[in-house]
């Protein structure tokens, strides 16, 4: 393992130098990996593993849209594409990548078909951590591990095809064989991780739910709306409001932050931008910290899990979700965004 110093905190991580792909391939040479679920994370992880030379099969409910997607990606029914139960029976490693709601529904089938000594793999700590609500309690005779890429399955696949990788966390929940850590490491490298950092199931889901509701999706969308609305209220055009709120951030500034850090971006902007941004940064931090504290408490208490599970179990959930997304899509902010994207030079 490599030991890195993150601002005075030492952390051990696994890189491709310490655990190269050929080592993972050798370790997995005689193992069959079943990827259960071909929706969000499943395609990226399954295809990356397949392209990296691992023995992969896919488990998915026949007749579903995800089944058809698997067929279109080259998986063959009866050869490496099966129903969930059969795929589980054929596997040494069961990668449980259904949605959280799907995991709850399919758990009795999967649990019944796990074999002693199998590895049960997750990419999210939700089901196991909130087992009182999900019912997902792994049997005592299997290894239970986690590898959670820090991004969407689509990004994992795209970066893999570019020769890059997403960083991933990994965790060991149960080690009955004595090999759970190496299994998790090999799978993490196999799915295309840039590097692996250690966590546990509870910390993974707490950080993930906080991030999704916070800066990654919920907070950033709310901030976009707040600034856009204030600019429009004060007479700015839709184009000006959108470009100053979304387009400049996503197309210009965030790539610079990703490559060089926030301090570099500050150092390479005008003195007017520097001073204002450095001063207002503190105000935004102080104003939003109580919200993040409230959010984290809601996650840790299980309240967020309860809300998600109850919502997903309602028969009209998909219909209401589509209504919410349609309202978002049809808002002036994102209708403006649609037009602005068409005007990007690469789309001309």
Q: How far is CA 229 from CA 31, 238, 244, 266, in A?
A: 55, 10, 12, 26
Rounded distance between C-alpha atoms, residue 99 and residue 106, angstroms: 10
Rounded distance between C-alpha atoms, residue 44 and residue 40, angstroms: 8
Rounded distance between C-alpha atoms, residue 274 and residue 46, angstroms: 44
- Name the phi and psi angles at 168, rounded to 5: -135, 150
Long-range contacts for 282-286 (Cβ within 8 Å, ≥24 apart)? Answer: none
Nearest to 70 by CA among 94, 97, 100, 47: 47
Active site residue 124: yes
Rounded distance between C-alpha atoms, residue 321 and residue 327, angstroms: 10
Q: Are strands 32-36 and 55-59 parallel, antiparallel or unpaired?
A: parallel
Nearest to 224 by CA among 248, 257, 252: 248
- Contact by Cβ (8 Å): 176, 117: yes
2 three-class SS: strand
Q: How far is CA 127 from CA 39, 65, 100, 195, in A?
A: 17, 23, 7, 24
Write the DSSP string, 163-220: T--EEEEEEEEE-SSS-HHHHHHHHHHHTTEEEEEE--HHHHHHHHHHHHHTTTTHHH
Q: How far is CA 56 from CA 75, 82, 163, 302, in A?
A: 10, 11, 21, 34
Which residue numbers are catalytic? 124
């Amino acid at each position: 393992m490599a030991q890195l110093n993150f601002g005075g905190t030492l952390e051990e991580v696994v890189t491709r130098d310490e655990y190269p792909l050929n080592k993972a391939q050798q370790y997995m040479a005689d193992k069959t990996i079943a990827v259960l679920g071909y929706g969000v994370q499943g395609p990226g992880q399954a295809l990356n593993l397949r392209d990296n030379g691992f023995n992969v099969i896919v488990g998915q409910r026949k007749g579903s849209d995800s089944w058809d997607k698997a067929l279109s990606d080259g998986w063959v029914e009866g050869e490496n594409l099966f129903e969930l139960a059969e795929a589980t029976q054929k596997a040494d490693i069961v990668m449980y990548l259904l949605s959280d709601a799907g995991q709850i529904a399919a758990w009795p089938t999967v649990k019944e078909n796990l074999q002693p000594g199998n590895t049960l793999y997750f990419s999210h700590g939700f089901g196991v951590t909130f087992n009182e609500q999900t019912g997902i309690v792994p049997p005592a005779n299997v290894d239970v591990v986690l590898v959670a890429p820090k991004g969407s399955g689509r990004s994992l696949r795209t970066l893999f095809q570019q020769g890059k990788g997403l960083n991933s966390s990994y965790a060991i929940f149960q080690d009955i064989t004595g090999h759970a850590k190496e299994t998790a490491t090999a799978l993490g490298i196999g799915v295309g991780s840039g590097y692996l950092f250690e966590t546990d199931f509870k910390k993974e889901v707490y950080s993930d739910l906080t991030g999704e509701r916070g800066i990654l999706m919920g907070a950033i969308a709310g901030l976009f709306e707040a600034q856009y609305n204030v600019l429009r209220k004060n007479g700015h055009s839709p184009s000006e409001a959108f470009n100053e709120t979304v387009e400049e951030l996503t197309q210009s500034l965030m790539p610079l932050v990703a490559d060089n850090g926030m301090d570099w971006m500050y150092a390479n902007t005008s003195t007017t931008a520097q001073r204002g941004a450095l001063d207002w940064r503190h105000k935004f931090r102080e104003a939003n910290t109580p919200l993040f504290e409230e959010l984290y408490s809601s996650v840790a208490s299980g309240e967020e899990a309860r809300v998600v599970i109850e919502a997903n179990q309602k028969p009209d959930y998909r219909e209401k979700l589509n209504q919410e997304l349609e309202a978002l899509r049809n808002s002036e902010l994102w209708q403006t965004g649609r037009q602005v994207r068409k005007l990007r030079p690469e789309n001309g």
